[in-house]
Amino acid sequence: MYNEILFDEAFWPVLIEAQESAVALLEHSRGTELHGTVAVKTVKGRRYVYLQRKHKGRYSYTYLGPADDPRTQHVVSSIKTRKRLLRTEVDRSRRLARDLRKLGVIPVVGLM
C-alpha cells in the first residue's frame, strides 16, 4: 500500500508545471500575428513590411509599415519575441508530456 500524502507531494510539482505550461501556451497562442510570417516587399524602390498568412491555399497580407520606421521595427521585434516565447512553451509542453510518459502517466496533451 502506498502513502497518499507522499504520492501527492511527489506529483504536486509535476501537476503545477502542467498547469503553468497549459496556461502559458494558451496565452501565447492567442495572437493572430503569430499565425503568419513577416515579409518585406520592395515597391517602387521603397521597402515595406507585411504580415503574410496563408489560408486555404491563398496568401493574404496585412500592412505593418515602412521597413525603416522605428515603430514598424518595434512591431516586428515584438512579433518575433512572441513567436520565440510560443516555441519555448510548445517545447516545454512536449518535454513535460515526455517526462510524464516516462513516469507511467498517460498525458492528454490536447487538454493540458
Per the domain annotation, does 7 fall within a domain? no
In a domain, 5, yes or no: no
What is the per-residue pLDDT across 80-95, written as a single tens digit (0 to 9) for each?
888 888 888 778 878 8
Q: What pTM was computed for the model?
A: 0.62
Residue 44 sits in which domain range?
Answer: 19-111
Is residue 8 one of the residues assigned to a domain?
Answer: no
**Domain count across the chain:** 1
Position 10 in a domain = no
C-alpha cell at position 29: 497562442
How many angstroms separate the CA atoms of 35 and 53, rounded? 7
User: Residue holding cell 501537476?
Assistant: 15
Judged on CB neighbours under 10 Å (0-12, 13-18, 19+), 64 is buried
* 95 domain-assigned: yes
CA separation for the pair 80, 84 (Å, rounded): 6
Residue 92 covered by a domain = yes
- Looking at the chain, the whole-number percentage of residues with pLDDT higher than 70 is 62
Average pLDDT over residues 97-111: 69
Residue 68 lies in a domain: yes
Is 59 inside a domain boundary?
Answer: yes
